[in-house]
Amino acid sequence: MFKKNLFTRFLVAVLLIGLIVANGLTSFDGNKLFKSIEAEAAENAPKYVFYFIGDGLGAAQRQIAEYYKQEVTGDKNAKLLMNTLPVAGINTTYSADTLVTDSAAAGTALATGHKTNNGMISQKPDGTSVKSLIELAEEKGMATGIVTTTRLTHATPAVFAAHNASRNNENDIAVEFLESGVDYFAGGGNRHFVPQNWKWGKSKRTDDRNLLTEFNNKGYTVFASKDDSAAFRKYEPKMGDKVIATLAYSHLPYEIDRKQTDESPSLGEITQKGIELLSKADKGFFLMVEGGRIDHACHANDAVGSIHDTLAFDDAIAKAYEFYQKHPEETLIVVVGDHETGGMGLGFGKNYFVKVDGLKDVKASVEDVLIDKYDGDKEAYFKYIAENFGLNDLTEEEKAKIIKAMDIKDSKKEDYDLVTYGPNYYCPVAVTTTHIISERTNIQWTTYAHSATSIPMSAIGKGAENFGGYKDNTEIAKAMANLMGFELTK
């Protein structure tokens, strides 16, 4: 709408110039007219932009997290903040080569306005690189930031600051970040930034480059590992600071696990630190925040893991909302997902219930914790899930399912039923256990991968009205570009 209005004003201006020239009025200053058009564009653009992307965040994930919040708070009217934002819509997610997208293609669409094939990072299917919203924000002089709970080189953060034919080339993506100009990086994945002989841990690099040292030489303050978490928390940004924080070897911990020790900062904390740093910039900022492990939990069909990471994502949105309340005329918050993961269904068979109260006793994630808990000792495993997963009252049928999965694990069999026991990179015992928890709640899963369902978005702030309605994911990026006066790659 804004772009059309701007074009109409331009046509009117051209006609006025023609009339003035025709009447011999040579004192007219055309430069003033074009300056006024540019000024109007600047007035309509928010100064501070928050782009929240929940990886794997579909309607079911948002809804079950809200139900859970109501249960644990005792407030039946409790809402996720993201579910209260005044502008809402639905987005399609398909990629250029398949209806079921991956995060690289979906992220590319959200970052650049272009469809691409699964696996590609901010490139068209023919390999042509396309500029991201963060790159365009930098061209306008804005400060920029990328925050994630995954590795920084993972698909969604990568599409905003790199261009590559494959999301798997994480070492190359890390090198591209060096030249990206992004002011604030925070997430995990130091393994792609440090050399093979790094004295503080392992590396996935195949060369001897220490990219963290190179970032430091470029003026970045570096927080290299989990051991720097305390220093990161105490750090107080100053005008002109740049930061890279790689606070884990791979991904940051699941929120349900992180809360057990509080050794690592939460997504809300690293988002807040980004706000403190970027808000010192004169020309505003563009901050992308990814709740990346919602997706990982749903791949493992871990309902409780997804709930806790969705709640952590909502807490990060709350940090942006607090900023918005101080700068309501200058701030935009857009909350989207890249796709749904797991085919999470709330309700199954003939049952008309979803009982979330039983989920409160789960204390650990499936993928990072439960997956390694069965080592052949059946009694120890049953004791563990009784104490940490609320399964102290297994029925004979439930126990028999777990024992069958144990027998598969013990036999080292790899050609078992995928639907029942999951891909072989998961433990069939852990998958069986998490399915029992889901079934008790009346949650069911259709896949260990992504689904093609449309997903919700919401927004608030200056220009938020441009993002509502039924849109494709590419239209979100295009609406953002139009609002900001950015020129997306054709």
pLDDT confidence bin for 199, thresholds 50/70/90? confident
What is the per-residue pLDDT for 64? 98
Q: Is 472 annotated as a binding residue?
A: no
pLDDT tens profile 40-53:
666 789 999 999 99
Instruction: Give the pLDDT of residue 24.
Output: 46
Per-residue pLDDT at 29: 56
Q: Name the residues annotated as catalytic.
A: 103
pLDDT of residue 339: 98
pLDDT digits (tens, 9 = 90+) for 410-425: 999 888 999 999 999 9
Pairwise CA distance, residues 267 & 290, whole Å: 9
pLDDT at position 34 over 60 = no
pLDDT tens column, 247-291:
999 999 999 999 999 999 999 999 999 999 999 999 999 999 999
Which tokens belong to 71? 């249960």
Q: Per residue in 325-375, pLDDT tens?
A: 999 999 999 999 999 999 999 998 898 999 999 899 999 999 999 999 999
Under 8 Å between Cβ of 82 and 101: no
185 phi, psi to nearest 5 deg: -115, 130
β-pair partners for 332: 49, 461
Q: Is 244 helix (H, G, I), strand (E, B) or coil?
A: strand
> Which of the pair, 79 or 18, is modelled with greater confidence?
79
Dist. CA 153–CA 170, nearest whole Å: 5
Domains of the chain, first to last: 49-344+449-484 (3.40.720.10), 355-441 (no CATH)
Check: CB of residue 214 under 8 Å from CB of residue 242: no
Whether the per-residue pLDDT at 469 is higher than 60: the answer is yes
Confidence check: pLDDT of 78 > 70: yes
Residue 8: the pLDDT is 46
- Indicate whether 144 pLDDT > 50: yes
Task: Using alpha carbons, select from 31, 38, 29 the residue that is nearest to residue 9.
Answer: 38
Mean pLDDT of 163-176: 98
The whole-number pLDDT of residue 2 equals 43
Q: How far is CA 210 from CA 171, 199, 203, in A?
A: 11, 11, 10
Looking at residue 33, what is its pLDDT? 47
pLDDT of 40:
60
Strand 48-54 to 285-291 pairing: parallel
pLDDT digits (tens, 9 = 90+) for 290-317: 999 999 999 999 999 999 999 999 999 9
The predicted model gives 7-29 an average pLDDT of: 47
How far apart are the C-alpha atoms of 19 and 127, rounded to whole Å? 48
Question: pLDDT tens-digit profile of 201-223?
Answer: 789 999 999 999 999 999 999 99
Q: Distance between CA 462 and CA 45 in Å, rounded?
A: 7
Tokens for 266? 């939460």
Q: What is the pLDDT of residues 85-121, one digit of tens each?
A: 999 999 999 999 999 999 999 999 999 999 999 999 9
Confidence at residue 197, expressed as pLDDT on a 0 to 100 scale: 79
156 annotated as belonging to a binding site for a ligand:
yes
Q: Is the pLDDT of residue 21 over 90?
A: no
Cβ-contact 84, 373 below 8 angstroms: no
For residue 415, the model assigns a pLDDT of: 84
> Which residue, among 408, 451, 441, 478, has the nearest Cα to 109 in the 3D structure?
478
Q: Name the least confident of 138-152, 199-213, 379-393.
A: 199-213
Q: Indicate the average pLDDT of the chain.
A: 93
Beta bridge partners of 185: 146, 244
Q: Is 396 annotated as a binding residue?
A: no
In this predicted structure, what is the pLDDT of residue 231?
A: 98
Q: Does the annotation place 398 within a ligand binding site?
A: no
Is 295 annotated to bind a ligand? Reply is yes
Q: In the predicted model, is pLDDT for residue 481 greater than 70? A: yes
154 is in an annotated binding site: yes
Annotated binding residue 299: yes
Q: Do the annotations mark residue 338 as ligand-binding? A: yes
pLDDT score of 406: 98
